[in-house]
Structures are given as structure tokens and as C-alpha cells.
A and B are shown apart, each in its own frame.
Chain A
Amino acid sequence: MSFSTIGAPSPSRVGSALPPRPIRIIIGTALALAIAGLIAAVLLAILSAASNEADSGFSRIDIPHLLRMTAIQAGLTTGLSLAVGMALAWCLNRLRFPGRDLVVGLFASAIVTPGMVVAFGLLSIWGRNGWINQVSEALFGTSIGNPAFGLSGILFAHVILDGAFAARILLARLDAIPANRLKIGQSLALAAWQRFSVIDWPAMRGTLPGLGAIIFLLAFTSFPIVLMLGGGPANQTLEVAIYAAVRQDFDLRGAVLLALTQIGVCSVVIFAASAFAPVPTALGHSSAPQWRDGAGARALQYAVLAVSTLGFVLPLLSVLLDGLSAGMAELLSRPAFWRAAATSLVIGGVSAVSAVTLALLLCLARAASANSAMRTLLGVPAFAYLAVPAVVLSLGFFLLVRSLGVNPGVAARYVVILGNTLLSLPFAVATLGPPLDAIMRTRGKLVRALGLSGWRQFRLVEYPLLGRDLGVALALAFCFSLGDLGVIALFGTQDFETLPLMMFRALGAYRSNDAAAIAALLLIGTIIAFTALPRLFERLAHVAR
């Protein structure tokens, strides 16, 4: 995903080749304006609360400290994740081994793996009673301490998720290098370092600013990982401080000031990132020749791949082992669990369908428009939700609902669905937008020459070609909602809780068996959704061809 897709080149270069689709553009514009209006309402609710809440003078919130801590951990996460991602993409691009597709798929799933599941897995491996300490004590009679807590733990968890995410994006860039370029390089007998500097680096570097900005934002607004691994106020970030101000200290004014700070920083990052040149979207793989690096480089590649795969897989494996062997049976016997599971599935399902429907309507309108200002109008509101993190969005809705005189408890279900829909929207738009643009660019003339109606265009051309991307967008949105803790955290009650909230409460009450079992189920649900939905839609689309 890249912010620069907002201003990606329009199919206007083919000019009149675009079939006129006024209804699509009207619907898309209305939705974009409605989304922008909702953002404005949320911001207004936050601003008006800031001016209305009396300054008690007792706020303990230290914004400069929080800002510094958040920026440090997000900056370090970004640098480390990009470095790990580049190294990993380099290895995966070069090496061919049995199970490679599985490893690539594992790293691709990093973006949807719930942060709290990874945090829990890290504690199982690196925590005080984790696997590493048990082995260390058995072998050397000494413990390595508790590196899973504090800044090191936060960075570790973020790099596991974001480094794998970066690797998958950068691998797509490397896999899309034109075969002719590789043939020339190979016939020139370029050494491994020459190949990296002359062929790989130019293919990756254009993606780095946008990718870095996304990782920075993900880390800057990270909630469950910092909440679980932060280990106290020293490592608290803005997002967690907002939650603490509302739920623990009842300091609404402080929370609003923090939210405004957070929105300000995120907006600056988004605008800075969108100034970079558009990143070309790689569609498909080049039929590259097999070109192996020398023995030394290959040994290094296998070593990097082994360490990275272990770093990513071990925490998830421990979640599955701990969860499936501990309190699973007891958890499954509890009615509260089934209520939470049903709530999670309904919220995840409705949010995902809503997000994909919205994204599809926005992207269809954008692909049909030749006007670059119109395309920006249709893209910006969806991406603006990257600047409004989950807890801030939740706080804004909380204030909005309260100002309308509605009991937040009554509105909770709808607000959580709406919140999750909007937070998934940028990812759904980034998934569906580029292929829809490409379809119009390559087949617009034919669609127009054949005089297809808008509906037939969608049914016969766009839907069959989009199939897998629709499934990917749906899976992304579903998994985000399934693992969300940020939106539900402010609206959850004893009667209205999702699995992530139930897991968080179980951890707080030291019911670690329950937490482990829920973490395992969340992970299994995520894996099933992320692997099954794209395949299902690919098959459905194939039938439609």
C-alpha cells in the first residue's frame, strides 16, 4: 500500500478511451463527501470537547515526553523493519526451496496478524517464564531477564510484524523486475553486490519512502502491543495514554489534547509521504531466469532467512501450542466465550463487507474519472483514516454520540462496526484501486468500443479480473476487525465484548490459560480467513469468466 496511490496517474492518458460512467462518479463522490463529513464531525466533537472540558489543572499527562517516546519507538521500528524487510526480500527473491511459497505466505499474513497475539507469543518465548529462559536456566543455570517487556519488547514485536510486511511488499518489487534486465545482468556476470546495487536497489528504493511512512504510522499508532509489552509509563505512547486518560483517569481534556497531537503528527507524515513519486504497482511476476548468487552470498541468504523465519514463526507457534494445550476445553464450555466469539464474527463480517463495498464504489468511481482533482477527492477521504488512529476514532465517536444525547452503551455495536469499517477502508482501497485503474487503462477502449453498460462492464470485465483482489480486501478487513482492540477498548462492557477484549481482560485478571486459548483461536481464525477468502473469490471469479 502507498499513499501515493491517492495521486496515481489517472487513466486520463487514454483520454476519450474511458467509457463515461456518471452514475459511478456520482455515487463515489457522495460517499467520499459522506466519509469526509464523518471525519469532520469526529474532529469537531474532539475540538469542542477540548474547549468545553474544564481544565482541572490536575492532568498528569506529559505530552512532550509521550510524543518523544512514541516518535523514538516508531522511528526505530521503521528503520529496523525496513532493514529486515530488505534483507528478507533479497533472500526470498534469490532462494528456491521446498516450502518457499508457504514461507512467503506466512510473511504476507503479518499485516493481518493481531498485534496482541504476537505480543502474547513473544512473552511465551522471551518472557520471564518463556522458552528461552527455561532453556537458559536448564543449560547455564541463569536467566536472560525479561527482554519481552519495555522498549526492546515493543520493538521486537513491531519488527516481527512490520519487517515481514515490508519483506512481502519489497519481494513483489523484486519479483517484478523485467526478465530482460535480469538476462542482461546475468550475461554481464554481475557479482552479488553489483546485482543488488544495480538491479535490486533501484527496484526497491522508490517504494521505501511510502512503505516507511506506513510502517511509521502503524508503529506510531500501535495500541495492543504497547499496552501489553510497554511495561509502565516510561514506555507509554500517545495511543495508550489516550486510552488510559479516558478509561482509567477520566481525564477527557487530557485525552482530547493527546488525540489532537496524534492526529497532527499522523497528518504530517501522510502529507510528507504523499509528496513522493508514485510507486508503480507491480501486476504479476516477470518470467525471470534462474540466476543464483555465489556460494558465499547464498550461505548468507539462508542464514538470514532461517533467523527471520524463526523470529516470526516461533512466537506464533508458541501461541498455538500454549493455547491448544492449556485452557481450551474450559474456555469452550463458557457461554461468555461463545457470546464474545459471535460478537467478533458479526462485527468482523459486517465491517469487512461494508469496508469492501465502500472501497469498491470509491475505486470504481476513481477509475472511471479522467479528472485528477476528482480522483484525489475520491481517494483522500478513505486514506485520511490513517491519520485518525483507532483509539482516537473511538474517542471521537464516543464524544459525538454523547453530544447527540445517545447512551454510548446503546450505540456501541454500531459505532464499533463503523469504526472498524473506516479503519479498514484505506487498506481495502489500496488493494482494489490499482488493479481497477489498470483494468480501465488496458481495457477501457475495448469496453467503450463494445458499448458495454456500467453493470455489464463490472460483471463481465471488472469482477472476473478482480476476483482474488476482492477476496484479499475482504480478508484484510475481516482480520483487522477480528483482532481489533483499539475501537472496542472504549466501548466494551461486560455485556458487549469481543474476543480481543476478552483476552485483554483475561490477561489483566491473570487468567493466562484463557488468554492463551483465545490468542490461539484468533490466530487460527486469521489464518483461515486470510488463506481461504482470496482463494474462494478467485474461484468465484473464475466461474464468472
Chain B
Amino acid sequence: MLRAEDLTFAHPRQVAPYVFSMEAAPGIVTAVSGASGAGKSTFLDLLAGFLTPSSGRLTLDGQDLLPLPPEERPISLLLQSESLFEHLSASRNIALGLPAGTPRHEAAERIARALTEVGLEDIGPQRAATLSGGQKQRVALARTLLRNRPVLLLDEPFSALDDETRQSTRLLVRNLTERHGWHTILVSHHQDDINALASRHYRIVDNRFVLA
């Protein structure tokens, strides 16, 4: 279980701090919504380690995550944009999810498997810049598979997608979450994304989480 307890943070000159408490179970998607400026991205940055809370606890199955720098947290990220390095091929982007020194043949095999799992068998050599929005998000998910981290943070990942791609990508996220037992946290202000994916839904009201 991923658990945030009174995770407190205030930006400079912010009068009332955010105080976040929530739980996210494995194998399901937990959604976080709120108005613009409510603190959704701040919450994700706190989980990912890009911001440091002034107090509170963040644990995964009892392990304290707060002392860990972002690169050591058991977390993968999928953002609305910039999830891929556009000048690299899809394969090279995915390979960044593998530990350094992975033998070449093993890397190629695992990349191919990951691409198959996200339904993109043939696009490995293609440069990320030439991929569609939906393909980019799937490639980023393939990299997440190789990283094999138990927590997946999604920051408005479907916002730039058309309806059809949006539905198929949502389905993929849900399937992968269930299959791999990820603690997936979806930050979104799109109610249909939340309805389609989330088993549990928190809203941010007055800088705190409220179970919707």
C-alpha cells in the first residue's frame, strides 16, 4: 500500500499549506482531481521527490520513501508531454528503463517484449518525434514496464489524445496496472478519464484530499 500521511508543503508566499493524506492500493488506479491550481501537480512532485515536504510521511508497504532522491524512488512517471526524448528512437527511449550494462541481446529481447505488450511491435527503430501522441504514451508505458517500479504516476497523460486513442490508452493503463500490481495514481481534471479508470477517487478541496 502506498500511503501519504499529512504530507505538508507550501510554496513561497503561499498562506495555507497543502496537507495531503491518501492511500493507493496495488493493482488499481487511484485518481486525484481538483480545480486548476488546487495542488495536483504539487502532490505528484512530492510523491516523485521533486519537492520536499516540511512534514508528514510517505511510505510504500511500510518503507519510508521521503529520504530517497527521485531517481531512487520506486516510481515511474508518465506526463502529458516530454515523457520521451524526441531525438531518440522508440527503442532507445525504452532502453533507458533498463539497468546500465544490460547485455545488448537481452536488452533487444526485453524491449521487443515490452513493445508487444503495449501493442507497438514494429515502431522500435522510429524516432520518437515522428510518433503520434498515443504511440508516444504507449512507448513511455513500455519503458515503465522495463523499469518495473511498483508505483506509476500519471499526470494528465491522456489530455493531448483524440477520443479513440484516449480510450485504448486508458484500457492499456488499466490492464497493465492490474497485471503488474502497480499502485497507479492518475492526476486529471477530466471526469471521463477518472470514471473509466479509477477505483478510488480523491478530490483536492481547500488544500486537502477528500474522498469523492
Contacts and interface: CB of A to CB of B under 8 A. Distances in A.
Interface string B134-154: 000000000100010000000
B76 interface: yes
Interface string B47-73: 010100000000000000000011111
In this complex, the interface size class of chain B, counting residues with CB under 8 Å from chain A, is 20 to 34
Interface hub of A189, A191, A202 (most chain B Cβ within 10 A): A189
A300 interface: no
Interface in A411-466: none
Nearest to A291: B70
Contact of A178 (B71, B77, B82, B143): B82
Interface of B: 45, 48, 50, 69-73, 75-77, 79, 81-83, 85, 87-88, 96-97, 100, 143, 147
14 contacts: A183-B79, A184-B85, A186-B71, A187-B76, A188-B96, A188-B97, A189-B71, A190-B71, A190-B96, A194-B100, A198-B88, A199-B85, A289-B45, A289-B70
A289 B96 contact: no
A183 B48 contact: yes
Given A181-B82, A186-B70, A188-B143, 20 more contacts: A178-B81, A178-B82, A180-B83, A183-B77, A184-B83, A184-B85, A186-B71, A187-B48, A187-B71, A187-B75, A187-B76, A188-B97, A189-B71, A190-B96, A194-B96, A198-B85, A199-B85, A289-B50, A289-B70, A291-B70
Interface string A180-223: 11011011111100100011001000000000000000000000
Contact of A198 (B76, B83, B96, B100): B96
In this complex, the interface size class of chain A, counting residues with CB under 8 Å from chain B, is 10 to 19
Contacts of A289: 45, 50, 70
Nearest to A189: B71
A457 to B, nearest CB: 30
A18 B82 CA distance: 30
B41 to A, nearest CB: 10
Nearest to B52: A290
Contacts of B72: 189
Contact of B85 (A186, A187, A202, A291): A202
Nearest to B84: A184
A183 B45 CA distance: 9
A228 to B, nearest CB: 44
A180 B160 CA distance: 15
Contacts of B82: 178, 180-181, 184
Contacts of B77: 183-184, 187
A199 B75 CA distance: 20
Interface string A157-196: 0000000000000000000001011011011111100100
A114 to B, nearest CB: 39
Contacts of B87: 202
Contacts of A291: 70
B23 to A, nearest CB: 22
Given A198-B88, A198-B96, A289-B50, A188 B79 contact: no
B81 A188 contact: no
Contacts of B97: 188
B162 to A, nearest CB: 21
A289 B69 CA distance: 11
A250 B69 CA distance: 70
Contacts of A188: 71, 96-97, 143, 147
A54 to B, nearest CB: 59
A-B pairs, 10 with minimum CB distance:
A189-B71, A180-B82, A289-B50, A181-B82, A186-B70, A202-B87, A180-B79, A187-B77, A178-B82, A188-B96
Contacts of B48: 183, 187
B47 to A, nearest CB: 11
Given A198-B85, A198-B96, A184 B70 contact: no
A46 B141 CA distance: 65
Nearest to A290: B50
A181 B85 contact: yes
A497 B152 CA distance: 70
A366 to B, nearest CB: 29
A194 B93 CA distance: 12
A183 B70 contact: yes
B72 to A, nearest CB: 7
